[in-house]
Structure 1
Amino acid sequence: MNHISKIFLFLALIGNIAYAQLHDPVSWETSAKKINASEFELLISAEIEEGWHLYSQNVPDGGPIPTTITIKEEKGQFELIGKPTEGEGHEEFDNVFEMNIKYFENKTQFVQKIKVLTDEKITITGVLEFMVCDDTNCLPPTEIDLNFELQGEAGKPEIESVVSDDNKGFLQNTTEDVTGIQESASSNIKAETDTQKITGKPKKEKTKGLWTLFILSFFAGFAALLTPCVFPMIPMTVSFFTKQSKNKSVGIRNAILFGVSIVFLYVLLGTVVTSIFGADSLNALSTNVWFNIIFFLLLIIFAVSFLGAFEITLPSSWGTKVDSQADKGGLIGIFFMALALAIVSFSCTGPIVGTALVAAAAQGGIAPVISMLGFSLAIALPFSIFAAFPGWMNSLPKSGGWLNTVKVFLGFLELALAFKFLSNADLVLQTHFLEREVFIAIWITIFGALALYLFGKIKLPHDSDLPHISVGRLSMGLIVAAFTIYMIPGLWGAPLKLISGFPPPMHYSESSYGVGYTKLGDAGSGTSKEIPDGAHLGPHDILAFLDYETGLAYAKKVNKPIMIDFTGHACVNCRKMEERVWSDPRVLKVLKNDIVLISLYVDDKRELPEEEKYTSSINGKEVTTIGKKWSEFQINKYKANAQPYYVLIDHDEENLNEYSAYNPDADDYLAWLNEGIANFKP
């Protein structure tokens, strides 16, 4: 074997190790707590790895698998008091399942209250079923055995509280068992599994989200800067610093302090909002129905104000008092000048600040602080720069009607964004009042009117006469008009990926497929293909098999490679892949025409026929459902237990390339598909 071959072999091994890992993100403990002579609390505690979340007991039908606790009741020994209770957790609207879903992070505890009916030492057993997900993986529903030992009043006074090895995590035992299988393939797999924890990924995604929020807030601040309330104040501020500063160095120092004061004020606002509501409650608040409706109404008011119907201002007495403090000079005077700027410009900046804070609230954590940092930097930088270098003022455009145009432009944007919040409330309530077609029609109307305004065909109250249209305004009008035309096909079922996440999902519409769409991808042809025995129409009407052997036989018959899709009915990330990646026309074409899809649902609760039930080689328990069969198949054959998980194989069941998992990049996913298909030899 030459050196190049060794390198490729090593890389292939590393690739297999990276994917071949078993996740075990939850550790369980059980204990008992005595309340009085006959009543106890059975405590079931979960320690959850960072980045993963465990679902509540109370998940609506059609959502992820809820946590289910079943205590085996023994007559004459004890009786259950009520149902198991759980911690507060987090609740938010899930766009994939279109419902509010409660989940837990880091740790939680479930409590079942019981009444003991005997004085003897008793053992209580039960079963807990749970499901966990992170940003890229969902694990199949897993069961663990519960075990409690406790003593009645006439026995020992102390409580027999145990933590069984089994209770510390069924998945831990599973991982150890399957690690032995892994070691037979490679002695390095276990070490790699230990070092490649999935917890690093969510941190990276969260950091990326904060950077995105910072940049968007910066642009929002820049937009606020170009409004009639803020832009004209730049020369006034520069004039003040020029007159008050004894020399250039003092002027630069004062300008920097002025900018820092602006940033401090807005960051303080973000900090106050976060501290009052709490980092977690902000996120929950942003998915509340009434909050979304109230903010919809507020944005409508802000938009109407920007369009010129009225002005939103703070009490004039506030500005007067602050101005009197600014006249004192020195550091205090500079700070109050910054505060005066914030108050005077509130009619233009207030709506933008409010929108930015709510957008940040949806992300939770320190997002409001990051948002205000980006917003205030965009406003503070021009004031500080021009105050430090007043000669650069000559390069600024003169104030005029274009400032009002910017304000009106923002008004239209606020109006369009308002309907996003109304849509959120509608999705939670499932009223179907604002379905996808209606939402898109409203946006087409709003942006169409904005295009007409930019072309000078619509005139609003504060607009000056427009003898001609500037090149910049014409260019912006053309962009808005093109965007409006782009949205029109969305009324007939086009995906509109540029605005993905704003309109309701495709299925929340009057016509989920759109006009001219027929089954199996024969759009507009009026024909349909025959569905083979054992197959069904999966996502986007892709032909899919639910049984491995049946799908393998069909693939041999049509002479195509096979893609095994380890998925789940309640797998959030599987639905994301299907909605955002499989819907790509290039990917969809390959999935429909070039491969045979076998979708194996690891959470399929249907019972196996009696003759097909068997004892698990992993945990020694009986495999009784279809889902458990496919979950065990994935673990034994591919040394992985997460979904989504994709494998391309040939007719000899040999891999055509490395495995793939959650990958929102359609280009990468398409390249992976094409690589496997190219390696297929009929």
Structure 2
Amino acid sequence: MKKFLTLILLFTLTSFTWVSAQMKDPVHFETSFNKISNTEGELVFIATIDAGWHVYSTDLGSTGPTEAAFHLEKNAGIELLGQLKAEGKEIEQFDNAFQAVLRYYEKSVKFIQKVKITNPEYYIEGYLEYGACDDQSCLPPSQVDVKYGNLEKATAAQPSNSAVDNSTPASPIQESSIDNSQDAEGVSQAVPSAIQGNSGSIDLWKPVIKELNAFSDHDSAKDRTLFYIFIYGFLGGLIALLTPCVWPIIPMTVSFFLKRNKDKKKGIRDAVIYGISIIVIYLTLGLAITLIFGPSALNALSTNAVFNILFFLMLVVFAASFFGAFELRLPSKWSTAVDSKADQTTGLLSIFLMAFTLALVSFSCTGPIIGLLLVEVSTTGSVVGPAVGMFAFALALALPFTLFALFPSWLNTLPKSGGWMNVVKVSLGFAELALALKFLSVADLAYGWRILDREVFIALWIVIFALFGMYLLGKLKFAHDDDNNKVGVSRFFMALVPLAFSVYMIPGLWGAPLKAISAFAPPMHTQDFNLYDGGVEAKFDDYNQGMEYARQQGKPVMLDFTGYGCVNCRKMELAVWTDPTVNHLIQDEYVLITLYVDNKTNLSEPIEVVENGKTRKLRTVGDKWSYLQRVKFGSNSQPFYVLIDNDGNPLNSSYAYNEDVDAYVNFLQVGLKNYKKNK
């Protein structure tokens, strides 16, 4: 018994294990120069990519994320042959935010740049630029520097009429005498004075990683994601309890266990093990899905058009089943075989088989709920999401069996089965039908059908939830509903919710943002008739200039580290920044400085910096802002929001991708409160 419980505990805990870090380094490169012949060679970049991340391919176009490309800086006795090529298992997906088909690689990829050797003494210097993202964030454009050959010998060996790049490398910037604070890895960092600007005696680039971490020492966004998955799963389990397939089984099963053993304690123990067995069965299903598909495949489901069409059809079928069109059933011989096996065995195995029988018998009611849960969890791309969701679902399902076994007298207080259970099923059918449109919308955008633009989607939701409210009021009936025309007070108040929700969505037909459904509705640009004009625009796109203005105005600063190719940055701006409260706080109470880490504008000359013991060049404006984010705040992913005072000190913990408007408002209000307190 103790071993059994210990194994279950360990099995459960492993599903919640995860590690977070501010500085992310998910792509690891090995470089080489292969001389194929006396006249031809190739630069090779072999990348190993961490699970859950992907690196974008070549030739994506200027409107998408950072594509892989090789940039030549110096060469002598050597010339490039063609463009950079990629080798590996390329994945092609339609992306909603960019409205384009994007290509990327997972696990590994090899980039090859062929070159022509025109002289035995050659020299080549340049860098590979690439972009990497996961389902929550993106890294700024990253670079892999390469340098092969001898520049002096190669230059001296060139004929006088040969084209040689005679530009000299940028001189290293002298390190300033600022405090060499430590970064997140404990490595001393020194910020070159050339990029600090004219800020007087205030060092605006001074690292504040420790101060920032003091506000929050863990990845709260990840916590919230798993927490929400747990809540969804638990609510799904509670709904499943109220269905006709599960509710009547509770008193029957608990009574069976109590009568099975003359020893009441033994009967209670068996009922508790029965509840634990239910958890193990559903948790195993969640872990199996994680292991079979993996985090990358789960993330891909959210953008794959074919899978989204299948999800749409599956949810429509589930909704029709709940409306009473037909009943989903597993083959009866399956449950009969498991049930007979449980009767023939004894001990823990028989109890486990009885729990398995419950899972099979109740499939017609729990199947659609589990299907909806797994569809929602799969689109989050979370590694342990399915396990967490199924654990929560099973926990809610198993609790009554355990509690009623501990307190058998409670069985007499259970409401009897009746028509109210069919109301629960039909209500769930309306929810499944509404959510099915979300997945059809993804496929519609992918194939460019334009049959489900934003106003069409909203119109369908208005109709669905209005019919839902009419059903609860008894104005709409299905085959299995009672003929009783009376509507109770509780059902009347329940009907007010979907009816009010329908009215709430009506302004969306003319372009209202509708924050409550921003995660479900198609993008705003698909709206044909849009009267809404709102948004947040940054006052500055330069850190030093913005800080100087904020000091003059006596206002705190909100730094927005973003990117032109950052999908989740655009989602935050559409779903969160358009909220009136958020809009007011950002535009009226803060000085917003937006820094694009993929800004390709070249600096007047490259700047060499020493970071983590390695020398690297800052070539573009985007490189400069990415360096600021890393050295000052110890982070390198976007979106990344941080609130600071006029001296560059943090006012609250940083904020990453999370479309919770209330959480974002609290983030801004806490920063403003701390600024006024410290002023």
Q: What TM-score results when the alignment is normalised by the length of structure 2?
A: 0.74
Aligned to 1:616: 607
Aligned to 2:232: 216
Aligned to 1:206: 222
Aligned to 1:495: 513
The CA deviation at 1:94 is 5.6
2:600 is the counterpart of 1:605: yes
Aligned-partner Cα distance in 2 for 1:177–1:208: 33
- Structure 1 counterpart of 2:564, from 563, 569, 578: 569
The CA deviation at 1:218 is 1.4
Aligned to 2:16: none
Residues 38 and 271 of structure 1, relative CA distance in 2, 3 Å threshold: farther
- After superposition, give the CA deviation of every residue in 1:499-524 in whole Å (9 maximum; x if it has no partner): 3311123333223xx33x45xx6xxx
2:266 is the counterpart of 1:250: yes
2:98 is the counterpart of 1:84: no
- Structure 1 counterpart of 2:429, from 396, 402, 411: 411
Which region of structure 1 is more displaced relative to structure 2, 586-595 or 386-395? 586-595
The residue type equivalent to 2:416 in the other structure is K
- After superposition, give the CA deviation of every residue in 1:427-484 in whole Å (9 maximum; x if it has no partner): 3334432222111111111111111000111110001122422232222112222222
2:340 is the counterpart of 1:340: no
- Structure 2 counterpart of 1:667, from 665, 668, 674: 665
The residue type equivalent to 1:248 in the other structure is K
Which region of structure 1 is more displaced relative to structure 2, 123-132 or 434-443? 123-132
The CA deviation at 1:39 is 7.8
1:136–1:662 CA contact under 8 A, matched in 2: no
The total of aligned residue pairs comes to 608
Residues 237 and 31 of structure 1, relative CA distance in 2, 3 Å threshold: same
Question: What are the equivalent positions in structure 2 for 1:511-526 lying under 5 Å apart?
Answer: 511=529, 514-515=530-531, 517-518=532-533
Aligned to 1:10: none
The CA deviation at 1:345 is 1.3
1:577–1:662 CA contact under 8 A, matched in 2: no
Question: What are the equivalent positions in structure 2 for 1:429-448 lying under 5 Å apart?
Answer: 429-448=447-466
The CA deviation at 1:372 is 1.7
- Structure 2 counterpart of 1:274, from 280, 290, 309: 290
Unaligned runs of 5+ in 1: 1-20, 151-165, 522-539
Secondary structure in 2 matching 1:278: helix
The CA deviation at 1:96 is 4.5
The residue type equivalent to 2:289 in the other structure is V
Aligned-partner Cα distance in 2 for 1:242–1:622: 74
The CA deviation at 1:110 is 3.1
Aligned to 2:255: 239
Question: What are the equivalent positions in structure 2 for 1:538-557 lying under 5 Å apart?
Answer: 540=535, 542=537, 544=539
The residue type equivalent to 1:334 in the other structure is I
Aligned-partner Cα distance in 2 for 1:624–1:116: 26
The residue type equivalent to 2:669 in the other structure is A
Aligned to 2:4: none
Which region of structure 1 is more displaced relative to structure 2, 377-386 or 411-420? 377-386
Aligned to 2:375: 358
- After superposition, give the CA deviation of every residue in 1:571-619 in whole Å (9 maximum; x if it has no partner): 44543443344322133235556777665545333567xxxx3453648
Which region of structure 1 is more displaced relative to structure 2, 318-327 or 346-355? 318-327
Aligned to 1:159: none
Q: Percent identity?
A: 45
The CA deviation at 1:551 is 8.3
Aligned-partner Cα distance in 2 for 1:336–1:249: 21
Secondary structure in 2 matching 1:287: coil
Aligned-partner Cα distance in 2 for 1:312–1:138: 42
Secondary structure in 2 matching 1:111: strand
Aligned-partner Cα distance in 2 for 1:185–1:630: 18
- Structure 2 counterpart of 1:463, from 481, 494, 504: 481
- After superposition, give the CA deviation of every residue in 1:79-137 in whole Å (9 maximum; x if it has no partner): 758743255588777654455656678x7553316487689575443322234568887
1:645–1:660 CA contact under 8 A, matched in 2: no
Aligned-partner Cα distance in 2 for 1:423–1:222: 29
Question: What are the equivalent positions in structure 2 for 1:160-179 lying under 5 Å apart?
Answer: 178-179=190-191
The CA deviation at 1:289 is 0.8
Residues 200 and 573 of structure 1, relative CA distance in 2, 3 Å threshold: farther
1:22–1:193 CA contact under 8 A, matched in 2: no
2:132–2:138 CA contact under 8 A, matched in 1: yes
1:51–1:199 CA contact under 8 A, matched in 2: no
Aligned-partner Cα distance in 2 for 1:149–1:646: 44
1:137–1:662 CA contact under 8 A, matched in 2: no
The residue type equivalent to 2:365 in the other structure is C
Aligned to 1:127: 127
2:325 is the counterpart of 1:309: yes
Residues 473 and 91 of structure 1, relative CA distance in 2, 3 Å threshold: farther
Which region of structure 1 is more displaced relative to structure 2, 347-356 or 313-322? 313-322
Aligned-partner Cα distance in 2 for 1:493–1:328: 64
2:562–2:597 CA contact under 8 A, matched in 1: yes
Aligned-partner Cα distance in 2 for 1:391–1:94: 56
1:90–1:284 CA contact under 8 A, matched in 2: no
Which region of structure 1 is more displaced relative to structure 2, 423-432 or 590-599? 590-599
The CA deviation at 1:490 is 2.0
Aligned-partner Cα distance in 2 for 1:542–1:117: 50
Residues 460 and 606 of structure 1, relative CA distance in 2, 3 Å threshold: same
2:54–2:105 CA contact under 8 A, matched in 1: yes
Aligned-partner Cα distance in 2 for 1:662–1:229: 44
Aligned to 2:583: 588
1:49–1:199 CA contact under 8 A, matched in 2: no
- After superposition, give the CA deviation of every residue in 1:136-188 in whole Å (9 maximum; x if it has no partner): 876653545312469xxxxxxxxxxxxxxx9xxxx99xx977446699988x9
Secondary structure in 2 matching 1:85: strand
The residue type equivalent to 2:353 in the other structure is F
Residues 144 and 272 of structure 1, relative CA distance in 2, 3 Å threshold: closer
Aligned-partner Cα distance in 2 for 1:565–1:544: 11
The residue type equivalent to 1:461 in the other structure is A
The residue type equivalent to 1:498 in the other structure is A
Which region of structure 1 is more displaced relative to structure 2, 370-379 or 134-143? 134-143
The residue type equivalent to 2:141 in the other structure is P
Which region of structure 1 is more displaced relative to structure 2, 593-602 or 291-300? 593-602
2:296 is the counterpart of 1:261: no
Which region of structure 1 is more displaced relative to structure 2, 474-483 or 559-568? 559-568
Which region of structure 1 is more displaced relative to structure 2, 230-239 or 109-118? 109-118
Aligned-partner Cα distance in 1 for 2:280–2:62: 47
Residues 119 and 603 of structure 1, relative CA distance in 2, 3 Å threshold: closer
Aligned-partner Cα distance in 1 for 2:364–2:136: 42
Aligned to 1:579: 574
Aligned to 1:18: none
Aligned-partner Cα distance in 2 for 1:237–1:249: 16
Aligned to 1:426: 444
The residue type equivalent to 1:495 in the other structure is P
The residue type equivalent to 1:141 in the other structure is P
Residues 325 and 194 of structure 1, relative CA distance in 2, 3 Å threshold: same
Question: What are the equivalent positions in structure 2 for 1:521-532 lying under 5 Å apart?
Answer: none
1:306–1:408 CA contact under 8 A, matched in 2: yes
The residue type equivalent to 1:372 in the other structure is M
Residues 40 and 328 of structure 1, relative CA distance in 2, 3 Å threshold: farther
Higher relative contact order, chain-length normalized (CA < 8 Å, sep 6+)? 2
Aligned-partner Cα distance in 2 for 1:306–1:621: 61
The CA deviation at 1:227 is 0.6
- After superposition, give the CA deviation of every residue in 1:332-384 in whole Å (9 maximum; x if it has no partner): 43333222222221111111112222222223423222222211221122123
- After superposition, give the CA deviation of every residue in 1:521-560 in whole Å (9 maximum; x if it has no partner): 6xxxxxxxxxxxxxxxxxx264746678998999999999
The residue type equivalent to 1:339 in the other structure is F
2:56–2:105 CA contact under 8 A, matched in 1: yes
Secondary structure in 2 matching 1:507: helix
